[in-house]
Structure 1
Amino acid sequence: MSKILSVKKISKTFRTKNKDFHAVTNVNFDIHAGEILALLGPNGAGKTTIVSMIGGYLLPTSGEVLVNGKNRYQNKKKPKIGIVLGGDLGFYGRASAFDNLLFFSDLSRVPHRQQMDEVNRVLGLVELSNVAHKKVQFFSKGMKQRLHIARSLLGNPPLLLLDEPTSGLDVEIANEIHDTVQKLAKKGVAILLTSHTMSEIEALADRVLLIGAGKIFSSGTVEEIVAQSNVHHIDRPATLEESYLAIAPQLRRS
């Protein structure tokens, strides 16, 4: 699989009058095509700062972010990245899903001649083709979240950033989002996931990065992270949640 995202020694320092705050320090990782990588750590660990630097909302103090080998900050034509923040906002409720995406395809610099085909393509990817001409104000939360994912896929970006993609959704709808994310990965999209839902990470992540105090504490598959925690049961394997709770105090100190 080809390397889609390469994060090289990125750091972010926020300067204040009293002292500097090192939010992220020398973080390195890669994501390959079709891979789902999850960032896991306590609040304040630096996950949002890392995602913001990759997404282009924050400039790193130092280091590089490469997408398909191109520097995210030094190229005039920035590499495309799909970003899903979710929630009920972000769309025109009185307009249809199709018309909303047609508007955003223009903002995503999709060539005008290709826009209608592109909107139909992304609606199909998230299985919303049958409600393409329904007003978004009548969409359920799950449908709106899938529409957010469709919007992020306009222009066919190789990398997708998912920030708490099922926050506030019930189990059934969350499972629908999981199915959508897995289908995208199978199509070769590289995905960076942040979530506080351990079952979500267990279901989706190929690899997990444990983040503490702005640094990578450890990395591995879910099974490897569980093994690192040294949590054992006689009658069953430890869960990721049990393992994370055992490791969390070290993350806060790291």
Structure 2
Amino acid sequence: MTSVLSVQNLCKTFPSHGDDFKAVDGISFDIHAGEIVSLLGPNGAGKTTTVSMVGGYLIPTSGQVIINGINRYQDKFDSKVGIVLGGELGFYGRASAADNLMFFSDLARVPRKEQRAEVARVLDLVELTNVANKKVQFFSRGMKQRLHIARALLGNPPLLLLDEPTSGLDVEISAEIHRIIKQLASKGVAILLTSHTMSEIESLADQVLLIGAGKIFSSGTVADLIKQSDVHHIDRPATLEESYLAIAPKLRRP
């Protein structure tokens, strides 16, 4: 099966007090259509740096980021990547949701004659059609997060990058965001997810990459990682959180 995203021996080095600091040190992984892969690790492990290189915000020191067969940093790259950073910012508060998305559809290189239909499509996907003409300044945090996802989906990108997609949201809204993410994966979108919420990873991820000190420590399904942690209970299976806490000391930089 052809990968939508192939990360090959990716490295990012920053100068630090005269020495080189390797934020990311030889990471490799693949994501296929319809697959959700989660990066999991402590702060400073290299997750955000990895996502930033995949998303085009940081140029790698070495290695390759290949999206739909095109090398992001060596070939003429014109593939679309949807990026959801979330938060309260990123939209024009006095403009409506639809008008915001019309503006961003230009940036996403959606042809002018297709923009209204495309805005209607993505609003429907995140169930914001009924507030399309409402000013974004009156949106709740959960509505803004759905609008961030809608913005990322403009132009129908094959790859979606989700950085803490439910951070600060209540349980009900988080569950709704999870439903939308699963629906997108079922339609063939490849998704790279970062999260510190173990229940979120358990609910969404097909594969989990444990990252520490800029390297992939281990990978597999949630069940695989629980087994690798060697945490056992007599009366119940171990949770991902318990297993991660058992492994976490090995992931931290010396």
TM-score, scaled relative to structure 1: 0.98
Alignment correspondent of 2:103: 103
* 2:193 is aligned with 1:193: yes
Alignment correspondent of 2:229: 229
What CA distance in whole angstroms lies between the structure 2 residues aligned with 1:239 and 1:224? 12
Give percent identity, aligned residues only: 75
Letter of the 2:187 partner, please give it. Answer: K
Runs of 4+ in 1 over 3 A off after TM superposition: none
What CA distance in whole angstroms lies between the structure 2 residues aligned with 1:158 and 1:115? 18
Once the two structures are superposed, the pairs formed by residues 135-150 of structure 1 within 5 Å of their partners are 135-150=135-150
Indicate the SS of the match to 2:169: coil
Once the two structures are superposed, the pairs formed by residues 1-254 of structure 1 within 5 Å of their partners are 2-253=2-253
Give structure 2 stretches of 5+ with no counterpart.
Answer: none
Structure 1, 221-230 or 75-84: larger mean CA deviation: 75-84
Contact 2:71 2:77 in 1 (8 A): no
Contact 2:70 2:77 in 1 (8 A): no
Indicate the SS of the match to 1:31: strand
Letter of the 2:102 partner, please give it. Answer: L
Indicate the SS of the match to 1:252: coil
What CA distance in whole angstroms lies between the structure 1 residues aligned with 2:11 and 2:30? 16
What CA distance in whole angstroms lies between the structure 2 residues aligned with 1:90 and 1:213? 31
Q: Deviations over 1:197-242 (max 9, x none)?
A: 0010001000000000000000000000000000001111100000
What CA distance in whole angstroms lies between the structure 2 residues aligned with 1:193 and 1:61? 23
What CA distance in whole angstroms lies between the structure 2 residues aligned with 1:18 and 1:90? 36
Q: Deviations over 1:85-129 (max 9, x none)?
A: 000111111111111000000111111011001101111111111
What CA distance in whole angstroms lies between the structure 2 residues aligned with 1:237 and 1:38? 21
What CA distance in whole angstroms lies between the structure 2 residues aligned with 1:59 and 1:92? 29
Letter of the 1:215 partner, please give it. Answer: K
Letter of the 1:64 partner, please give it. Answer: Q
Q: Deviations over 1:55-80 (max 9, x none)?
A: 01111100000000101112334321
What CA distance in whole angstroms lies between the structure 2 residues aligned with 1:153 and 1:224? 31
Deviation at 1:139, TM superposition (A): 1.1
Letter of the 2:123 partner, please give it. Answer: L
Letter of the 1:59 partner, please give it. Answer: I
What CA distance in whole angstroms lies between the structure 1 residues aligned with 2:210 and 2:129? 37
TM-score, scaled relative to structure 2: 0.98
Give structure 1 stretches of 5+ with no counterpart.
Answer: none
What CA distance in whole angstroms lies between the structure 2 residues aligned with 1:59 and 1:143? 32
What CA distance in whole angstroms lies between the structure 2 residues aligned with 1:175 and 1:222? 19
RMSD, matched Cα: 1.1
Say if 1:110 and 1:170 are closer, same or farther in 2 by CA, change over 3 A. Answer: same
Contact 2:126 2:180 in 1 (8 A): yes
What CA distance in whole angstroms lies between the structure 1 residues aligned with 2:53 and 2:253? 24
Q: How many residues in Structure 1 have an aligned counterpart in Structure 2?
A: 254
Deviation at 1:2, TM superposition (A): 3.8
Structure 1, 77-86 or 159-168: larger mean CA deviation: 77-86
